[in-house]
């Protein structure tokens, strides 16, 4: 019986609380009063601001309030104040947990709706003033999101500021972006946020204005380069990048953009000088040495196919040198370790091609040449194997490494080791992991 009575009492309380909660215009009035109380003493009345937000959220669920410019103005003012308060709290305490992290967006939307609905001149002016005040909070929000690497939402916040500026100017209002430097800075942070969010077409209108104005920031040129590539305008992209590199010869981002472009385009001869230049500016970047090694590796393969032995040897030696330089800086660098093994392995494969022409020559001289080539192949395998084994020690689940080791043992007719590495490959292919490298 007590349980039944307790249940009835709980129900009664819930009904009464629901009945007592103000809605519509009453909630709006109470929200405004709560905001007023907060404004009198913000330091000691922070709970009033939260009450104001909760009440305005309830009020705006009412259809009559949704059609009221006055109600939307109130929401914009409360949300703007809430965004300002939380920004201040985050400055004081970086660990502060935000209640409404996107309040600035809510304020912007509310003032926009108020402006669209307002029939009286003073209400339109209030909406425009509210939008002007929201610029600061949107920029603060954008900066916070940018710091968290949430570039898509950061772009939305910065872009909203540009939208507000446009509305203000259409209504003959002053804006914080009236000065050219302030506008250019806003275009820049908006465009770069879109660029980092990979929203290239959203970045384009902002970066294009800065590019045309010869704005003094390398990211503008990098962005316009990427946009031109996205649009399939390769000549324009290269011209833009070249201009950027001439203006900012020491900028690493533009250098890397250039390197990546020529790598993708397989323009190896161009890359040699480019990579040497960037290594001179960024000498501690171990990946650059390995990349230049790979470029020389490809040039070695190209010279081998053309039958140019002298050029092939030079490029082979240069590839090996840069891989070794990478390992000298980081002896745990997997890519360089694997690449040395692959360099010798591929040289063995190239030598093996020369054996084909000798297979049908059964003369003593032909047999000697064949055996000499075979010895060269196995000598290269012997040089490749230790590097592959060290690479396997760094990553015992890399299929390419395991396959290379298996193939070398197969060529050497070592059935036991061939089967061992075949099993290790199958283990990875089955979605499992080799817990450690093979210790022979």
**Per-residue confidence (pLDDT) for residue 374, from 0 to 100:** 82
Please determine, for residue 68, whether its predicted confidence score (pLDDT) is greater than 50.
yes
CATH (one of 1.10.3470, 2.60.40, 1.25.40, 3.30.70) for 187-265: 1.25.40
What per-residue confidence (pLDDT) applies to 5? 35
Instruction: Say how many CA atoms lie within 13 Å of 417 toward its Cβ.
Output: 18
| pTM over 0.95, yes/no | no
Task: Give the chain's largest Cα–Cα span.
Answer: 111
Distances from the Cα of 302 to the Cαs of 126, 155, 270, 353, 357, in angstroms?
Answer: 71, 45, 15, 15, 20
Residue 295: pLDDT band with limits 50, 70, 90: very high
pLDDT per position as a tens digit, 337-366: 999 999 999 999 888 876 666 566 566 765
pLDDT band at 192 (very low <50, low <70, confident <90, very high): very high
Tell me what pLDDT residue 91 has: 81
CB 117 within 8 A of CB 72: yes
420/54 Cα distance (integer angstroms): 67
Determine the pLDDT at residue 19: 42
Same fold: 21-178 with 187-265: yes
CB 363 within 8 A of CB 350: no
Please measure the distance between the N-terminal and C-terminal CA atoms of the chain and give it in whole angstroms.
Answer: 78
Please give the distance of CA 54 from its chain centroid, rounded to a whole number.
36
Q: 59: which 2 tokens?
A: 């009020």
Q: What proportion of the chain, given as a percentage, has pLDDT over 70?
A: 92
Range among 18-32, 82-96, 202-216 with highest mean pLDDT value: 202-216
Give the tokens for residue 365.
């001289």
Rounded to an integer, the average pLDDT of 84-102 is: 84
Cα separation, 295 vs 263, in Å, equals: 8
Rg (CA), the chain: 34
- Tokens representing 305 are 């196919």
Angle at 51 between CA 45 and CA 56, to 5 degrees: 135
**119 φ, ψ to 5°?**
-105, -30
61 Cβ neighbours under 8 A, 6+ residues apart: 23
CB-based burial label for 383 (10 Å; 0-12, 13-18, 19+): middle
Closest of 227, 249, 258, 334 to residue 290, by C-alpha: 334
Predicted local confidence at residue 136, as pLDDT: 94
How many Cα atoms are found within 13 Å in the side-chain-facing hemisphere of 233? 11
> In 10 A of CB 403, how many CB atoms?
15
H-state helical runs in 148-231:
151-170, 180-196, 200-212, 218-230
Give the span between the Cα atoms of 235 and 202, in whole angstroms.
22
Per-residue pLDDT, averaged over 410-424, amounts to 93
Gap between the Cα atoms of 203 and 247, Å rounded: 21
Residue 2: per-residue pLDDT: 39
The CA dihedral of 231, 235, 238, 244, to the nearest 10 degrees, is: -90
Please state, rounded to an integer, the average pLDDT across all residues of the chain.
88
The helix or strand, by DSSP H or E, that contains position 217, with its residue range, turns out to be none
Segment 267-291 mean pLDDT: 89
What span, in angstroms and rounded, lies between the C-alpha atoms of 141 and 187?
A: 16
How do residues 121-169 score in pLDDT, each as one tens digit?
999 999 999 999 999 999 999 998 999 999 999 999 999 999 999 999 9
Higher confidence at residue 222 or residue 370?
A: 222
pLDDT of residue 357: 63
Q: Are 439 and 390 in contact (CB under 8 A)?
A: no
Q: What is the pLDDT, as a whole number, of residue 7? A: 38
Distance of CA 165 to the CA centre of its chain: 29
Q: Is the pLDDT of residue 20 over 60?
A: no
Distance CA 329, CA 306 (A): 34
The answer to whether the beta carbons of residues 128 and 167 sit under 8 Å apart is yes
User: Of all residues in the chain, what percent carry a pLDDT higher than 90?
Assistant: 67
Measured CA to CA, the distance from residue 347 to residue 370 in angstroms comes to: 16
Q: Are 345 and 408 in contact (CB under 8 A)?
A: yes
- Domains of the chain, residue spans: 21-178, 187-265, 278-325
Q: Is the pLDDT of residue 3 over 50?
A: no
Sequence-separated contacts (24+) of 208-213 with Cβ below 8 Å: 210/184, 211/240, 213/184
Does residue 305 carry a pLDDT above 80? yes
Res 10 pLDDT > 60: no
Instruction: Give CATH for domain 21-178.
Output: 1.25.40
d(CA 384, CA 289) in angstroms, rounded, equals 19
């Amino acid at each position: 019986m007590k349980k039944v009575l307790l249940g009835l009492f709980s129900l009664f309380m819930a009904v009464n609380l629901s009945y007592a909660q103000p809605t519509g215009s009453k909630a709006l009035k109470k929200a405004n009063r709560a905001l007023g109380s907060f404004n009198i003493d913000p330091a000691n009345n922070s709970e009033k601001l939260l009450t104001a937000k909760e009440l305005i959220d309830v009020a705006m669920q009412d259809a009559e309030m949704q059609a009221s410019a006055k109600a939307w103005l109130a929401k914009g003012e409360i949300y703007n104040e809430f965004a300002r308060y939380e920004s201040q709290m985050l400055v004081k305490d970086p660990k502060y947990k935000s209640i409404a992290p996107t309040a600035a967006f809510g304020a912007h939307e509310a003032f926009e709706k108020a402006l669209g609905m307002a029939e009286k001149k003073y209400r339109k002016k209030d909406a425009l003033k509210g939008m002007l005040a929201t610029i600061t909070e949107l920029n603060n929000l954008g900066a916070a999101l940018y710091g968290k690497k949430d570039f898509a939402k950061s772009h939305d916040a910065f872009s909203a500021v540009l939208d507000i500026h446009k509305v203000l100017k259409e209504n003959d209002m002053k804006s914080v972006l009236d000065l050219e430097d302030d506008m250019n800075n806003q275009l820049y942070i908006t465009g770069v946020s879109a660029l980092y969010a990979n929203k290239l077409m959203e970045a384009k209108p902002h970066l294009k204005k800065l590019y045309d104005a010869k704005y003094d920031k390398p990211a503008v040129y990098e962005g316009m380069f990427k946009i031109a590539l996205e649009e399939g305008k390769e000549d324009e992209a290269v011209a833009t990048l070249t201009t950027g590199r001439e203006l900012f010869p020491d900028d690493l981002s533009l250098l890397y953009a250039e390197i990546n472009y020529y790598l993708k385009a397989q323009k190896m001869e161009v890359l040699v000088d480019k990579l040497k230049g960037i290594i001179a500016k960024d000498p501690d970047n171990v990946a650059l040495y390995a990349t230049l090694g790979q470029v020389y590796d490809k040039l070695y393969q190209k010279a081998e196919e053309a039958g140019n032995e002298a050029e092939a040897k030079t490029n082979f030696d240069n590839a090996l040198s840069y891989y070794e330089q990478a390992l000298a800086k980081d002896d745990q660098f997997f890519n360089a370790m694997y690449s040395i093994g692959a360099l010798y392995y591929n040289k063995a494969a190239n030598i093996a091609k020369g054996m084909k022409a000798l297979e049908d020559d059964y003369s003593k001289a032909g047999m000697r040449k064949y055996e000499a080539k075979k010895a060269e192949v196995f000598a290269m395998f012997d040089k490749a194997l230790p590097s592959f084994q060290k690479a396997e020690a760094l990553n015992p689940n890399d299929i390419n490494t395991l396959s290379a080791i298996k193939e070398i043992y197969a060529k050497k007719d070592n059935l036991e080791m061939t089967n061992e590495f075949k099993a290790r490959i199958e283990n990875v292919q089955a979605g499992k992991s080799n817990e450690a490298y093979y210790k022979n």
